[in-house]
Amino acid sequence: MMDASVLRPAARRFALLRAAPALGIGAALVALALTLSNDFYLYVAFMAGVYYICASGMNVLAGYAGQKSLGQAGLFAAGAYTVALLTTRLELPPALALAAAPLVAAAVGVLIALPSLRVKGPSLALVTLAFGLVVEKLVTEWTDLFGGAQGIYGIAPLTLGDEPFALKHWVVLVIVLGVAVHLALSHLLNGRFGRALLALQSDEIAAECAGISVYRYKTLAFVLAAALCGLGGALVAQQNQYFNSDFVTFHLSVFILLLVLLGGAGNIYGPIAGAAILTMTEVFLAQWPSVQHFIYGAMLLFALYLMPTGVAGAIARVLPRRMAVLDGVETPPLTAMQRGRAEPSAGPLLEVTDVSKAFGGVVTADKVGLRLHAHRIHALIGPNGAGKSTLINILTGVISADSGTIRLAGQDITRGTAHARAARGIARTFQNLRLFGSMTVLDNVLIGAHARIGVTGREEDAVAKAKAVLDFVGLGEHAGALAGSLPYGLQRRVELARALAGDPVLLLLDEPAAGLNPRETAELGQLIKRIGQLGVAVLMVEHDMGLVMRISDEIVVLDRGVVIAEGAPRDIQTNPRVIEAYLGREDSPAPDGPESDKEERPC
């Protein structure tokens, strides 16, 4: 494995290049704000900055994690009422109250996320909408605490010396905070965290099996969105020195979501475009308040159906895609796996004992036992409906076993989650492709290394390893291509590369040759043999018997959820129970069950 230190200077230069435009534009905007004396223009600039901060958090939640929320007005209110109550009731310093506001909003966000993220899609939007309506009703009716429509007056603003901030000072502050938010999110979302959110938005099962804790990352996205929305509310409350229930409306929640959708969900620059366009639209529509809702609704439909990637996405499509971190990097061939992973010196790597699973009255696994060894290729075969894919799902934690035990390198993982098993070194591919098609090939492979990046803490190491894996499977020249744009056979290899990127000790392949032509199947067989030589234990579910017999060291046969045979390929080919399971028998019943089907069952 190459020394990733050759990547670090390039990565640092790339990060500085990314930060330079934001810092330059921020400095120019501060200089412009200090020269303005028109309060109207300054207030418009201030609100544009507040909207950007709120939209940046919402972009993490809706654009990257794919979780649409209609309760952001409640979180905006959480931040605003925090500074209001802390400065008027407890008389805390304004700066301390401002710092506390996003923390309180984040805590409220956790309380909402825990139940809300158990549901998806429209159900999630309805749950968050209910939260927003509850908050609106609460602050309206609980007048003793929140002041209702009358509101809370005398909110202490930030001061410069002994004087309260002038409007231009608020504009400068919101610009500084906006640049800081942009740089922080740019660093966060252009790395491991952002890839994880995009992966779970695309395919939660594939993301979980790559080592990503889906629920944890959704919760983190919700907390970030809540904290930034709370910060926006706190800034508005302190600048106005007044806040009431009129600010907390469903209209505000829709407006914040529209900022993201129109600007470009899932694009780091989307909130900037959305804040600029919608702030000017709001100023323009101020003279016709009766048509505001109609115009915003029309813009939302336009964003959803005619410009799904938003303004920033439309611009990004015409810009060249660059892989700056990989420029000029020479990667030596992959020669070893399992760095830093425990492997028993003797005995099986994976030991499955009496594992059973039933769906209603259908038993798909009946006291299954397996022993898999490192450096060996095991095949799992059987007729259609034998329970092969169910067993793969049990081993990877996608579904849980009803009974039995599973041990990896001597450790019990029976109750482990899919992402925890991936972190321990169990990787897999899927019967039906589960690629993250809108992401690059390199990013797909980096997602496979998600758990390993968490251990090493170095993105550069993961990029070097991902490049080595791509070269190993013959995809080095496709690193920058979108995974969904490749031919089907290459997409199969991308999924295999993603599985290898996590340094697995056990690789589970669910029908890897499905849909491949004979040449591609032969090449796949050679690749799987090379993977076994790296020290990985391979368990392959496959219907292509030619491939199975050519490359397998040991074959396990399932029929109706029961292991009926195991051994070397030549022994399996002549085993009477295997022949009976595949072809059926007309002259006698099965040795230990009812009469077999008389018609041929396909392999």
The string of DSSP letters for 563-583 reads EEEEE-HHHHHT-HHHHHHHH
pLDDT mean across residues, the chain: 87
pLDDT at residue number 10: 53
CA 593-594-597 angle, 5° bins: 120
Closest CA to 263 of 311, 316, 319, 315: 311
* Interval 366-388: pLDDT, tens: 999 999 999 999 999 998 888 99
Closest CA to 267 of 307, 232, 228, 210: 307
From residue 540, give the alpha-carbon distance in Å to each of 290, 393, 424.
64, 13, 19
- The pair of structure tokens assigned to 145 is 């605490």
Instruction: Please give the Cα distance from 476 to 442 (Å, whole number).
Output: 9
Instruction: Please give the Cα distance from 226 to 104 (Å, whole number).
Output: 9
Q: How many CB atoms lie within 10 A of CB 517?
A: 11
Q: How many CB atoms lie within 10 A of CB 140?
A: 16
Count how many Cα atoms sit within 13 Å of the Cα of residue 246 in the half-sphere of its side chain. 6
Residue 186 near residue 14 (C-beta atoms within 8 A): no
pLDDT at residue number 455: 62
* Interval 434-490: pLDDT, tens: 999 989 999 999 999 998 887 656 777 788 889 999 999 999 999 999 999 999 999
Count how many Cα atoms sit within 13 Å of the Cα of residue 183 in the half-sphere of its side chain. 17
Report whether pLDDT(602) > 80.
no
Average pLDDT of the residues in 163-170 = 94
* Interval 286-334: pLDDT, tens: 778 778 778 877 887 887 777 778 888 878 777 655 554 455 445 556 6
pLDDT at residue number 6: 46
Closest CA to 364 of 339, 335, 323, 393: 393
Instruction: Please give the Cα distance from 576 to 560 (Å, whole number).
Output: 16
Instruction: Please give the Cα distance from 295 to 301 (Å, whole number).
Output: 10
Residue 17 near residue 139 (C-beta atoms within 8 A): no
- The pair of structure tokens assigned to 249 is 């409306």
CA 290 to chain centre: 40
Residue 67 near residue 218 (C-beta atoms within 8 A): yes
Instruction: Please give the Cα distance from 264 to 274 (Å, whole number).
Output: 7
From residue 437, give the alpha-carbon distance in Å to each of 208, 254, 360, 476, 485.
16, 29, 35, 17, 7
- The pair of structure tokens assigned to 587 is 């002259």
The set of long-range contacts for 112-117, using a CB threshold of 8 Å and a minimum separation of 24, is: 112/71, 112/222, 112/226, 113/218, 113/219, 113/222, 113/223, 114/219, 116/69, 116/222, 117/67, 117/215, 117/218, 117/219, 117/222
Query: 């979108």: which residue's tokens?
Result: 482
Instruction: Please give the Cα distance from 88 to 152 (Å, whole number).
Output: 8
DSSP 482: B
In whole angstroms, how large is the CA radius of gyration of the chain? 29
* Interval 80-93: pLDDT, tens: 999 999 999 999 99
Q: How many CB atoms lie within 10 A of CB 574?
A: 8
Average pLDDT of the residues in 354-372 = 91
- The pair of structure tokens assigned to 111 is 């309380």
154-168, 270-284, 320-334, 512-526 — which is least confidently predicted? 320-334
Instruction: Please give the Cα distance from 546 to 568 (Å, whole number).
Output: 14
Q: Which domains does the chain have, with CATH numbers?
A: 26-251 (no CATH), 344-425+505-603 (3.40.50.300), 433-503 (no CATH)
Confidence of residue 120 (pLDDT cuts 50, 70, 90): confident
Greatest extent of the chain over all pairs of C-alpha atoms, in Å: 101
131-140, 182-191, 327-336, 439-448 — which is least confidently predicted? 327-336
Instruction: Please give the Cα distance from 496 to 422 (Å, whole number).
Output: 14
Residue 241 near residue 154 (C-beta atoms within 8 A): yes
Residue 374 near residue 505 (C-beta atoms within 8 A): yes
Contacts of 99 (CB under 8 A, 6+ apart): none
- The pair of structure tokens assigned to 115 is 């139940």
Question: Which residue would you say has higher pLDDT here, 287 or 185?
Answer: 185
Instruction: Please give the Cα distance from 85 to 97 (Å, whole number).
Output: 9
Question: Which residue would you say has higher pLDDT here, 591 or 12?
Answer: 12
pLDDT at residue number 13: 56
For residue 406, which amino acid is it?
I
Which residue spans within 316-465 are E strands per DSSP? Answer: 350-359, 362-372, 377-381, 403-408, 411-412, 426-428
pLDDT at residue number 460: 77
* Percent of the chain's residues with pLDDT above 90: 64
If residue 556 lies in a helix (H) or strand (E), which one and from where to where?
strand 554-559
Contacts of 523 (CB under 8 A, 6+ apart): none
CA 244 to chain centre: 37
Average pLDDT of the residues in 491-495 = 95
Average pLDDT of the residues in 56-63 = 95
Q: Which SS3 state, helix, strand or coil, does residue 279 take? A: helix
pLDDT at residue number 320: 59
Residue 460 near residue 4 (C-beta atoms within 8 A): yes
Instruction: Please give the Cα distance from 517 to 494 (Å, whole number).
Output: 17
